[in-house]
Amino acid sequence: QPLKLQDKDIVEMVFFPVVNEACRVLAEAIAVKSSDLDVASVMGMGFPPY
């Protein structure tokens, strides 16, 4: 039987891991600025630029 997910559940499952990884990348100085991650998200993942 399929799971009944609410919008909140989908955000937690998909978006929160991305935010956690971004924090790790900044903490380990893999990226210098958060704006670098914005560019990587738009160019690499096709995240909307607006």
**Tokens 């690499």, residue?**
44
- Give me the sign of the Cα torsion angle 23, 21, 25, 39: negative
Question: What is the predicted pLDDT for the residue at 43?
Answer: 85
Closest C-alpha among 38, 37, 34 to residue 49:
38
Question: What is the predicted pLDDT for the residue at 46?
Answer: 74
The pTM of the whole model exceeds 0.75: no
Tens digit of pLDDT at every position of the chain (50 positions) = 888 999 999 989 998 999 999 999 999 999 999 999 988 888 887 777 66
